[in-house]
Amino acid sequence: MKTVKKFSKAFPACAVLSSVLILFGIAGFFIRGINFGIDFVPGLLEEVRIAPAAVEVSYSGSANVGLGISSTGLELVITGTSSENETKFFSYAQNPTVKDIAASLSEVEGVTVSVKGSENADSYGIYLDSSSTSRLSKNDPVLLYVSDESNVVTVDEVRAALASENVVVKELGDASSRSFQIRAAISKTSASSDTLQSEIMGSLKARFGEDNVAIIKTDFVGSGFSSSNGMKSVILAVFTLFVIWLYCSVRFHWDFALGAIIGLVHDCFIMFTFISWFQIEFSATSFAAVLTIFGYSINATIVILDRIRENIRLVQTKSFNDILDASISGTITRSVITTVTTLFASVSLLIFTSGSIENFAAILTVGLLSGCYSSIFIVSGFISLMRRHWEPGEFSAHVRPHTGKKIVASFNSAQNV
């Protein structure tokens, strides 16, 4: 048996509180804006590796010599009017160490090789800076890199080096082939993608050394692609709300379904109020947190709506608020315990993680609290408003038949149901 609490008395105050918070969020949108991540604004997507340069290669002859790297070895492409066009291949299998590769390259006329790192490093780990030219010359030597497992750079160190930049850093690969994916949005201070790339590389080289940073690949996200992502996200959110409304309309009465959607929209506004004022980066991960709250909140709401539907036949009263109070009282323990246990996970992520996962956890935590609150007070408050002139027996066609005995309750004294 549950003690019936007068939750309905708080409906007007909660409506005012939520309206103020939503207006506060709208003001935040115009004052501070939304801190969109690289998924929704033009920017740079770059993969870099950090390790000391292993080999320095130069060429002093009259031909044109280009250096290429594949998964099986190195090759020199020699062209020019004063020499025969030819390609020389140096496989990793036949040259298993950096010392062996250096010795084989040195046998080519005009090529000078200097080993700068460990001679015994595995040649299979050699890679080239994609931003530098692969053409060999005397005054502009090409650097070859090999991963250094004895001096591994962590993702936290890279994030610290780029703390002044608006970037998201993700670690890729294992210790033998570790690289870092850097995602950066073009800001007002970055006039172009080239400027942004130069700023990032400058910060990395200042922290890890001029010859210790190599770019593996670079992609640029255009304004058209980022705008398309934003539009697709809006369409996905609207479609999700529509499907939820359709489900609730079939299962419950129209005012129950509309109340559920109002609760979800309310949660969305509350999360964006938090995002705008605290300038949480809104990325694809953040959007996933919003959709997660849609699912969590509607689940909590349906539990209450289902109890309301049952109590319409079980509770004899002339006031629909009495049915709402009995239904919320019967599910409040479940709602609170579910929210608190889920918060254990989200708060743990918030405390012990960083980057996009930390943003995900922050939005999820706010959404969990908002979802529990809206399921109890906002959705029920809207239904109370719609059924303020309710009379017993109304909408009975939408109520599932119940074969049990009716419960007679005196709500004036708030006794047990």
* Contact by Cβ (8 Å): 142, 58: yes
Number of domains in the chain: 2
Structure-model confidence comparison of residues 50 and 269, the more confident one: 269
Tens digit of pLDDT for each residue in 301-357? 999 999 988 888 877 777 888 888 889 988 899 989 999 999 999 999 999 887 778
pTM listed for this prediction? 0.64
Q: Give me the residues paired with residue 215 across strands.
A: 48
Q: Is residue 414 part of a domain?
A: no
Q: How many helices (H) and strands (E) does the chain have?
A: 10, 13
Tens digit of pLDDT for each residue in 130-146? 777 778 887 878 888 88
Could you give the count of Cα atoms lying within 13 Å of 225 in the half-sphere of its Cβ? 10
Last residue of a domain, one of 221, 242, 273: 221
The token pair that represents 259 in the structure block: 């109340």
Q: Do 14 and 71 sit in the same domain of this protein? A: no
Integer Cα distance of 205 and 275 in angstroms: 33
Q: Do 160 and 250 sit in the same domain of this protein? A: no
Q: Do 336 and 315 sit in the same domain of this protein? A: yes
Domain that holds residue 372: 7-40+225-408
Q: Is residue 415 part of a domain?
A: no
* Contact by Cβ (8 Å): 183, 167: yes
Last residue of a domain, one of 221, 238, 262: 221
Last residue of a domain, one of 163, 193, 221: 221
Q: Do 304 and 211 sit in the same domain of this protein? A: no
Mean pLDDT across the chain: 82
